[in-house]
Amino acid sequence: MNTVKTVRELRAAVARARSEGKRIGFVPTMGNLHSGHAALVAKAAQRVDFVVASIFVNPLQFGAGEDLDKYPRTLAADQEKLLEAGCHLLFAPSVEEMYPDGMAGQTRVSVPQLSEGLCGASRPGHFEGVATVVSKLFNMVQPDLAVFGQKDYQQLAVIRALVHDLNMPIQIIGEPTVRAADGLALSSRNGYLSEEQRAIAPALYRSLGQIAQAIRNGERDYPRLLAEQQQQLEAAGLRRDYLEIRQAQNLRPATAEDRDLVILVAAYLGATRLIDNLHLDLNTPA
């Protein structure tokens, strides 16, 4: 696996692979990789002949007071994991390479509606930062397909929308969330948790499961159900950001008649913000 740091080298390597008739897959990441990321790379490797991954901690998607500075940079360990997972080329640019003219005048890509609410409410500008960097990366790599984790459910919806709306010929694949044995969704941010907080964190996924089970059992009073579970989360020590039931396909608020649902949660454990979600399709048996 080769690592390149410039757009020029990236384009040259991808052009070489294309000239050999290879199909290109792409997995953008911010590094500090875990088995969830490895699953994304492995999925791409199943589908195409040449897998490109990127590692770039994108300042444009971090708000003031967020963890941009302390976000872990672990390039050597990440390279090993990528190689093992079947990656052929790593693009690891600097901030200057990605934003040579600075960020203030950078053209932005925004996906209205889908970017509002949920994580968009507590992280203003976040999805514009994501949509902008992903658009840039897509234009640099020009992949046939790209793989993203379903753990960032709203992000995946935003990316599907931008590819559709901007007519990018890229197939977007959502890969199921990888979880620890106790249910906690793998995330680079889990590394911020103390031992005590790590023991509390699985409550998030437990709550999602209990909500899904209650809905499967016929409960349709969503406000009451959510308030009950929110209370349990807070009793466990998780500070509220949001807990919502939405329509799975467009993230609009769910009504009692909707059958394809997603339950989404975000909560703070100390200063660490964790998110998770559970897709619940009532048209399919449990």
Q: Mark 71-110 with x for binding to ligand PAF (rule: CB under 6 A) and - for no binding.
A: ----------------------------------------
Residue 133 binds to ligand PAF (criterion: CB under 6 A)? yes
Q: Which is nearer to ligand PAF, 85 or 130 (CB)?
A: 130
Q: Are strands 260-269 and 239-247 parallel, antiparallel or unpaired?
A: antiparallel
CB neighbour list of residue 12: distance below 8 Å, 6 or more residues apart: none
Q: Which is nearer to ligand PAF, 187 or 207 (CB)?
A: 187
Residue 30 binds to ligand PAF (criterion: CB under 6 A)? yes
Q: Which is nearer to ligand PAF, 155 or 229 (CB)?
A: 155
Q: What angle do CA 244, 245, 247 make, to 5 degrees?
A: 135
CB neighbour list of residue 154: distance below 8 Å, 6 or more residues apart: 114, 115, 118, 119, 120, 127, 251, 264
Q: How far apart are CA 31 and CA 20, in angstroms?
A: 29
- Residue 224: both structure tokens together: 């009451």
Residue 277 binds to ligand PAF (criterion: CB under 6 A)? no
DSSP code for 191: G
Residue 152 binds to ligand PAF (criterion: CB under 6 A)? yes
Q: Which amino acid is at 182?
A: D
Stretch that binds ligand PAF, among 27-35, 45-53, 87-95, 190-198 (CB under 6 A): 27-35
Stretch that binds ligand PAF, among 74-82, 95-103, 126-134, 195-203 (CB under 6 A): 126-134
8 A C-beta contact, residue 245 and residue 211: yes
8 A C-beta contact, residue 279 and residue 262: yes
- Residue 279: both structure tokens together: 């897709």
Residue 28 binds to ligand PAF (criterion: CB under 6 A)? yes
Residue 119 binds to ligand PAF (criterion: CB under 6 A)? no
8 A C-beta contact, residue 164 and residue 172: no
Residue 29 binds to ligand PAF (criterion: CB under 6 A)? yes
CB neighbour list of residue 74: distance below 8 Å, 6 or more residues apart: 31, 32, 33
**Positions in 43-62 near ligand PAF (CB under 6 A):** 58, 61
In the residue annotation, 37 being an active-site residue is answered as yes
CB neighbour list of residue 73: distance below 8 Å, 6 or more residues apart: 31, 32, 57
Helices then strands, each counted (H, E), the chain: 10, 9
Residue 207 binds to ligand PAF (criterion: CB under 6 A)? no
Stretch that binds ligand PAF, among 25-33, 99-107, 248-256, 275-283 (CB under 6 A): 25-33
Residue 134 binds to ligand PAF (criterion: CB under 6 A)? yes
Q: Which is nearer to ligand PAF, 203 or 266 (CB)?
A: 266
By CB under 6 A, the count of residues binding ligand PAF is 10
Question: What residues line the site for ligand PAF (CB under 6 A)?
Answer: 28-30, 58, 61, 130, 133-134, 152, 155
Residues annotated as part of the active site? 37
